[in-house]
């Protein structure tokens, strides 16, 4: 009789552990809300000379404190690409729920040609272990257009 009780107790503990892991994993997988709300994006310098500086003002609100990574790049009309330094934060860099205004400045490289150009961001966020190691939150990034003029 005692061995039957030990067997049932062991089975209950193992089943409980499996159910706990499955429940947490399911909860983490279902958690796909973006931790950042982008309120507005404005190009402050819509026309930039080659070698000049592009300025972009972004108003955003951090809704959750998560790891943030954003790949950024610029393309000109001839499809030349410039990789811009990545953005990395382990937690939200500002208070949650309050709109933040960020003005970013980027140098337009000398090898870009005059014409239309774009600046793109490709963010991903990790708010829990599943996001960090398996499946990060990847909302659509931002794409802003600007014009490159001759010097």
Q: Measured between alpha carbons, how far is residue 139 from residues 34, 36, 69, 89, 130 in Å? A: 7, 10, 12, 17, 16
Angle at 96 between CA 94 and CA 102, to 5 degrees: 40
Contact 135, 29 (CB under 8 A): yes
Short-list 76, 25, 33, CA closest to 54 = 76
The token duo for 62 is 């951090």
> pLDDT tens, 20-77?
999 988 888 888 889 999 999 999 999 999 999 999 999 999 999 999 999 999 999 9
> pLDDT tens, 76-90?
999 999 999 999 999
CATH 1.10.3210.10 corresponds to the domain 34-149: no
**To the nearest whole percent, how much of the chain has pLDDT over 90?**
77
Here the contacts of 38-41 (C-beta below 8 Å, separation 24 or greater) are 38/142, 39/99, 41/142, 41/144
What's the pTM? 0.79
Domain boundaries along the sequence of the chain = 1-30, 34-149
Q: Quote the pLDDT of residue 1.
A: 80
């Amino acid at each position: 009789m005692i061995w039957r009780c030990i067997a049932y107790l062991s089975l209950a503990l193992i089943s409980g552990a499996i159910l706990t892991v499955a429940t947490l994993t399911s909860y983490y997988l279902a958690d796909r809300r973006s931790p950042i709300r982008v309120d507005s994006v404005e190009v402050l310098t819509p026309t930039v000379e080659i070698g000049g500086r592009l300025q972009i003002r972004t108003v955003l609100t951090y809704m959750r404190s998560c790891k943030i990574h954003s790949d950024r790049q610029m393309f000109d009309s001839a499809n030349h690409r410039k990789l811009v330094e990545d953005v990395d934060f382990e937690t939200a860099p500002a208070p949650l729920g309050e709109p933040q205004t960020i003005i970013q400045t980027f140098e337009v490289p000398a090898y870009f040609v005059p014409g239309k150009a774009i600046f793109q961001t490709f963010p991903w966020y990790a708010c829990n272990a599943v996001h960090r190691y398996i499946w990060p939150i990847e909302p659509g990034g931002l794409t802003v257009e600007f014009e490159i003029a001759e010097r």
